[in-house]
Homo-oligomer: A and B are copies of this chain.
Amino acid sequence: MASEPAPISFARGAPSLDIVDVDGLRAAADRAFQNDPAGTTAYGTSIGYVPLRTWIAEQHGVAPEQVIVTNGSMQADAFLFEALVEDGDTVVVEKPTYDRTLLSLRSRGADVRPVDLHEDGIDVAGVEALIADGVMPRLAHLIPNFQNPAGYTLSGDKRRALVALAAEHGITIFEDDPYVQLRFSGEPLPTMLSLDQADRVVYASSFSKTVCPGIRVGYLVGPEKLIARIAKLATNTYISPNMVAQSIVNEFVRADGGGAFERSVARVKDALQERAAALCAALARELPEARFVAPQGGYFLWVELPEGTDGDALFAAAAERGVQIVKGTDFLLEGGENAFRLAYSGVTVPQIEEGVARLADAVRSLGVAA
């Protein structure tokens, strides 16, 4: 090619601007300062903006005291790990899982135990086998819906089995659920939080995917005592989270009795469904040797190429063609050389088609047999 190809990024799990409701946000910001100038501009406390905390509690059918609203759900994870994970504690994670969770747990000195992730979620027998071997997890980190990086969803049966296992063995399940609102096919499944009768589940979610990432509002729902402990950690870390942002989110989700929020999320889901379909079709057409599972929601697709594919070489060959992907090895303690993650949230359908064509060209340049 005479000129550099236009960059196409399948790398970052973030929405493209066209599926962010900027006008809705502008209007929500205006109402936030108008309707509650004191609450919006003052420090508040570490539990977050009270009306938003109440709204979240209502959504989950829990008491407000079970909720803390934070500066994004990564910060919520950090507080939770600080509260629960000591050096040497065993933590079960999915294999593969979110790279930042791996990093965060390892930096705390956790004994991280990845358990295979199947199309219907984590291998419950694998968790049971760990316990049978005398390795008792303190915590199990699970991304139940449209998992990052795999796009897979934990089945209802497995949710029930895991909640029972947690109750029996005193394991805390960290249900990390930022994509739950982005289901574009299939039926919604109950959260493990709602199935739990033994105070063994802590649930995290975020408005990054339904409002916008730059708003940095996430939250935890869990047992009241644990939330109170985390609120104390939060006070000592930052006094209080961003009240302006949380007040804007509160106005955004409550507008028109929730109808405006619902329509905004519906637009996001429609776009994601279209993008996921385009991506699956393009992969099937251009890269018939690729294995993947069509997702029912969310941002991500996990693609496996035949064993022996050199992931580092593929990453480089794709980058040479202006295409960014994330290496499978980033989501695993070992293995994953023949896999990669594609995020379809930030690319349009024409970019997807062009991007997959270039990616296929990159794969062929490695001499991988179909």
Chain B CB within 10 Å, residue with most, of A17, A78, A244, A248: A244
Tell yes or no: A40 within 8 A of B by CB. Answer: yes
Measured CA separation A212–B71 after assembly (Å): 17
CB distance from A69 to the nearest CB of B (A): 13
Q: A212 contacts which chain B residues (CB < 8 A)? A: 41-42, 244
Measured CA separation A245–B42 after assembly (Å): 14
Contact with B along A116-152 (1 / 0, CB 8 A): 0000000000000000000000000000000000000
What are 26 contact pairs spanning A and B, CB under 8 A? A14-B43, A17-B42, A20-B41, A25-B33, A26-B33, A29-B244, A41-B212, A41-B213, A42-B213, A42-B214, A43-B208, A71-B242, A72-B239, A74-B239, A78-B238, A103-B236, A212-B244, A213-B243, A214-B247, A215-B242, A215-B244, A216-B238, A216-B241, A244-B244, A244-B245, A245-B245
Partner of A12, one of B25, B32, B43: B43
Report whether B43 and A237 are in contact in the complex, using a CB–CB cutoff of 8 Å. no
This chain's copy number in the assembly: 2
Q: A78 contacts which chain B residues (CB < 8 A)? A: 237-238
Number of contacting residues on A, CB 8 A?
A: 47
Q: A33 contacts which chain B residues (CB < 8 A)? A: 22, 25-26, 29
Contact with B along A4-38 (1 / 0, CB 8 A): 00000000101001001010011001101110011
Contact with B along A225-263 (1 / 0, CB 8 A): 000000000001111111111011000000000000000
CB distance from A348 to the nearest CB of B (A): 15
Partner of A71, one of B29, B38, B42, B241: B241
Tell yes or no: A365 within 8 A of B by CB. Answer: no
A211 — nearest CB in chain B belongs to which residue?
B41
Measured CA separation A239–B70 after assembly (Å): 13
Q: A191 contacts which chain B residues (CB < 8 A)? A: none
Report whether B248 and A214 are in contact in the complex, using a CB–CB cutoff of 8 Å. no
Tell yes or no: A264 within 8 A of B by CB. Answer: no
